[in-house]
Structure 1
Amino acid sequence: MENHSSPHAPDVRLAASSRHAIVRATLVLGERWSILIVREAFNGSTRFDEFARSLGIAPNILSARLKSLVARGVLTRKCITCGCRPAYLLTDRGRALQPTLAALESWADIWLPMDQGAAAPSCTELKAPNDHV
């Protein structure tokens, strides 16, 4: 069977069955914007427009990434009040990513320092705003 996917796209079948944890994790978080959406969820974003505003991401891409993160159990999509726009909340699986984000941030602070200016909010201080999920 011929693979018609992009040469840069991971082979999903290989990744899903991989014994290598990094390969499996990349399947969940490796798509562009996904890890930033998770970071914004830790920072308190729950609504589509909040994610779009804070990230400057195109609506079609944001929609696809939110759908993917929900399908993979990182976020859950809930309507908190009747007739409202849905909220995207971190699941237990999503909240468990906090140490990973903090470690990635620490690595970047050491090895990819910012030139000048104010530091961005720290993931080590991120709250889990969705503890009620």
Structure 2
Amino acid sequence: MERNRDMGPGEDVTGCAAGPCVHGVCVETSNMGVRCFCQPGFGGQRCEFEYDECDSNPCVNGGTCIDHIGGYECICGHGYTGTRCEIKYDLCTPNPCPPNLVCVDKGNSFSCECLNGFTEDNCGPHPQVYLL
């Protein structure tokens, strides 16, 4: 790359002085050329292209990918966590139910049910399903 912008009359700017690297650092090579070393998240001969890190669909289990320069962020749905939403967490830990009731994880919801040996009459509040 020798000329990368319009020059004024009598002006002849070559090499790194021409500012050929859009999002990177320019280094002049031994053959009077230049080489661009791109910032993270950019590519192309002149570092002119921004990569979309979400193109590869890195988020799993229904996570939504948000592209950032040089990286991405996954917004996880209920019941999932982790950089890529790869970890399912137990909605029942810690136990959200009142005493004498046990939590039952139902995927995107949980219910509080009577412990063994108890009936609805003596286990506390009536069992319910909690939707998240």
TM-score scaled by length of structure 2: 0.20
Larger gyration radius, structure 1 or structure 2: 2
Q: Relative to total residues, which structure has the larger strand share, 1 or 2? A: 2
